[in-house]
A and B are shown apart, each in its own frame.
Chain A
Amino acid sequence: MVELSPNDSSILTRVARYQKIPIRERRALLQRATPKAREIGLIILGTSTGQEADEETKAAADAYMKSFPRKPLKKK
Chain B
Amino acid sequence: MKDTELPIALNQCWKAATENWHLAISSIKDNAKLCQSLLQLCAAADQACAGVGSTYSLERPPDLQFHFQADDLLTPRQNGSSLCREVHPTRARVLPKMHTPWNGLTIRSLSLYLSLCTGDEVSPQWITLGSYPERESMNLLLVPWPFRIAPSQFDIAAPAKGEMKNMPDRFGFFGFRQRSDAGAVQIIQSLYTASKAEMGKIDGVVLPELALLEEEHEELRRFVLKEEAFLVTGVGRASQSAEEHDMNRVCFDIPHEAPLWQSKHHRWKLDESQLRQYSLGSRLSVEKRWWEHVSLNDRRLLFVSLPALVMSVLICEDLARPDPVGDLVRAVGPNLVIALLMDGPQLKGRWPERYAMALADDPGCSVLSLTCLGMSELSRPAQGPSRSRVIALWRDRTGTSTEIELPAGCGGIVISLSFQYEEEWTADGRRDYGEAVFPTLSGVRGIKGRPEWFEA
Contact = CB atoms under 8 A, between A and B. Distances in A.
Contacts of B259: 3
Interface stretch (B64-72, B346-354, B395-403, B422-430): B64-72
A3 B259 CA distance: 8
A10 B72 contact: yes
B125 A18 contact: no
B257 A4 contact: yes
Interface string A6-27: 1101111110111111000000
A2 interface: yes
A21 B68 contact: yes
Contact of B307 (A6, A59, A67): A67
Contacts of B256: 1-4, 9, 59-60, 63
B130 A6 contact: no
A10 B134 contact: no
B128 A9 contact: yes
Given A17-B55, A17-B58, A59-B256, A12 B71 contact: no
A2 B76 CA distance: 20
Interface residues of A, number: 27
Contact of B128 (A13, A20, A63): A13
Interface in B228-270: 255-260
B255 A1 contact: yes
A69 B59 CA distance: 11
B225 interface: yes
A20 B76 CA distance: 25
A5 interface: yes
Contacts of A63: 131-133, 255-256
Interface in B36-88: 55, 57-58, 61, 64-65, 67-68, 71-72, 74-76
B349 to A, nearest CB: 39
B168 to A, nearest CB: 42
B125 A60 contact: no
B333 to A, nearest CB: 21
B78 to A, nearest CB: 12
Contacts of A5: 258
A9 B258 CA distance: 9
B128 A18 contact: no
Interface in B128-160: 128-134
Interface string B108-130: 00000000000000000101111
Contacts of B76: 6-7
B258 A14 contact: no
Contact of B75 (A6, A19, A66): A6
Contacts of B57: 17, 67-69
A20 B61 contact: yes
B33 interface: no
B450 interface: no
Contacts of B129: 9, 13
B55 A13 contact: yes
Q: Which of B72, B128, B130, B225 has the most CB of A within 10 A?
A: B130
A3 B131 contact: no
A60 B125 CA distance: 22
A68 B64 CA distance: 15
A6 B71 CA distance: 12
Contacts of B29: none
A9 B61 contact: no
Contact of A67 (B65, B127, B133, B258): B133
Contacts of A21: 64-65, 68
A16 B128 CA distance: 12
B52 to A, nearest CB: 12
Contacts of B255: 1, 63
A17 B132 CA distance: 12
B257 A3 contact: yes
Contacts of B68: 14, 18, 21
Contacts of A69: 57
Contacts of A11: 75
Interface in A47-66: 59-60, 63-64, 66
Contacts of B127: 6, 9
Nearest to A68: B57
Given A1-B255, A4-B257, A17-B55, A9 B130 contact: yes
B283 interface: no
B133 A7 contact: no
12 contacts: A7-B75, A13-B71, A13-B130, A14-B130, A18-B58, A19-B58, A20-B64, A63-B256, A66-B133, A67-B131, A67-B133, A68-B130
Given A13-B55, A14-B130, A17-B130, 16 more contacts: A1-B225, A4-B131, A4-B258, A6-B127, A6-B258, A9-B129, A9-B256, A10-B72, A12-B130, A13-B71, A14-B72, A17-B57, A60-B131, A63-B131, A64-B130, A67-B57
Closest 4 CB pairs of A and B: A13-B130, A63-B131, A10-B75, A3-B258
